[in-house]
Amino acid sequence: MGKKRTIADDVDAESVGASSEQPARLAELQRPAAEALYADELARLADEDRNQPKPLGWRLTPRSVLSFVLGDASRQIAPKFVGRRSFLERCIVSLATNRGLMLIGEPGTAKSYLSELLAAAISGDSTLTIQGSAGTTEDSIKYSWNYALLVSDGPSDRSLVPAPLYHGLKHGRLVRFEEITRCPLEIQDTLLSVMSDRVMSIPELEGEGRTLFARSGFNVIATANTRDRGVNEMSAALKRRFNFETVPGIAAISDEMALVGRESARMLQRAGVPVTVPPEIHELLVTTFRELRAGKTEDGKGMEPLSTVLSTAEAVSTACAAGIHAYFYGDGTVQPVHVVHHMVGTVLKDNPDDMKKVRHYFDHVVQKRSGVLWRQFYDARHELE
C-alpha cells in the first residue's frame, strides 16, 4: 500500500513549483493545519537548520522548534503560543527521548494547539491525530482492514488500512492523541507495547510484515483535561511511559489580551469579515472572563466563581462572534452589547445557576466601574435574560 499523502506533502510540493497557488488553496479551508498555515516560516527555519545537528527524524533543531512556537522577531517568526520558555524547552526535550509527552490542564489552555505546533515543527505533519472519546476503538488507533480485499486476497499490505499510530511508526512522525483520558482504560493501554518497545505487531500478516518497527522521529503527544480526571484514570504502566507537563493559564492580562486580539483577528479574516475588534473591547472581555473565572476582581474583591471554564479560547470565540454579529447585524463597529450577547452561549454550558452569578457580577462589579464602555457593558445586561 502506498504512503498516505498528507498536508505536509502538499506543502512540500507547492514550495517546489506551485507556491503561488497556496494562498488561494488555504483560503478555501476553514482551519488549515499549522504546517500549511505557517509553511513559509517552517521552510525558512528548515533552510537555516540544514547543516545543524538535530535529533534523528526531526525537521528542525530544538532551538528552531522553540522559536517557531514562541516566536522570534530577529528571525521574523510570529509568536503562536504564550508560555514560559523553560516549560516549552522541557516539552521539546521530552519528544527527543524514549518517553512521550503528556500535556494536562484546564479546558481552553491551548493544549491541543501546542501539540499541533510541536508536531508541525518537528515532523512537518500535525494530521496524525487520534481523537479520544468513549467510542474510540483500537482500529482507529493502530490499523483496520478493507474487508472486501481481506475476503478476496487475505491479509496483506493492500488490504490493511493504516491508522495514525501505524503511519507515525512507519514514517517516523509524531502522533497526537487528544483527550486520552476520555477513552476506556483498555483502549488507552493499546499504546503500552508501542511506547515501550517502539514496535507494533500485526499478527495477521506473515514474514517481515508481522512487525512494524518505529523509524527515528516517532513519538506520541497526548493531552488530557483536568476536568475529566477520575473518569478513565490512566494505568500506572502507561503513565510511566510519558513525561507529564501541566499547561497553565496565561498569567499576565496583557499577554492574554494580545493573544485574544491576535487570534480573533485571524479568525475574522479567515471568515471574510472585515471588522476590527478594538483593544478596549478586548480589555473589557478579557477582564470579565478572568474575574468570573477566578471568582475575584482585579482589585482583590471575592465573589463566587462559575462552574464552567471561561478560558482564553472561549474569549477568542466570543470576540470573533461579536465581530461577526456587528458586521452582519450592525454597522461593523463592535460594541459592548455584542460581547454581552455572545456571553450567554459561553456561560450556559454546565449549570443554569452560572447565569445568576453573571448577573450578580454585573450588578455588583460592572455597575460600579467608570468609563463609557463599562457603562455600555452594564446597560446591555438585558441581553443576559
Q: Are residues 184 and 61 in the same domain?
A: yes
**What are the b/e assignments for 141-164, b being 16+ CB within 10 Å?**
bbbbeeeeebeeeebbeebbebbb
Residues shown for the chain: 385
Q: Could you tell me the residue range of the domain that residue 125 belongs to? A: 7-246
Say if 273 falls within a structural domain.
Answer: yes
Q: How much is the pLDDT for 15? A: 42
What string of pLDDT tens digits covers the 385 residues of the chain? Answer: 444 444 445 444 444 444 446 666 777 788 899 999 999 999 999 999 999 999 999 999 999 999 999 999 999 999 999 999 999 999 999 999 999 999 999 888 999 999 999 999 999 999 999 999 999 999 999 999 999 999 998 999 999 999 999 999 999 999 999 999 999 999 999 999 999 999 999 999 988 889 999 999 999 999 998 877 656 788 999 999 999 999 988 989 999 999 999 999 999 998 999 999 999 999 999 999 999 988 888 877 888 888 888 889 999 999 999 999 999 999 999 999 999 999 888 887 767 788 888 999 999 999 999 999 999 999 999 888 7
Q: What pLDDT is attached to residue 249?
A: 87
Q: What is the DSSP string of 104-144?
A: EESTTS-HHHHHHHHHHHHHS----EEE-STT--STTTSEE
- In terms of domains, do 198 and 263 share one? no
Of 246, 268, 303, which residue sits at a domain end? 246
Pair 91, 233 in one domain: yes
> How many distinct structural domains can be found in the chain?
2
Pairing of strands 143-145, 160-162: antiparallel
Distance CA 384, CA 342 (A): 9
Asked whether residue 36 falls in the same domain as residue 185, the answer is yes
* 1 found inside a domain: no
In a domain, 236, yes or no: yes
Co-location of 54 and 196 in the same domain? yes
Nearest to 107 by CA among 315, 291, 262: 315
**Domain end residue (candidates: 246, 280, 300):** 246
pLDDT score of 355: 86
- Domain assignment of residue 2, yes or no: no
Residue 41 belongs to some domain of the structure: yes
- Among the three residues 246, 266, 292, which one is the final residue of a domain in this structure? 246
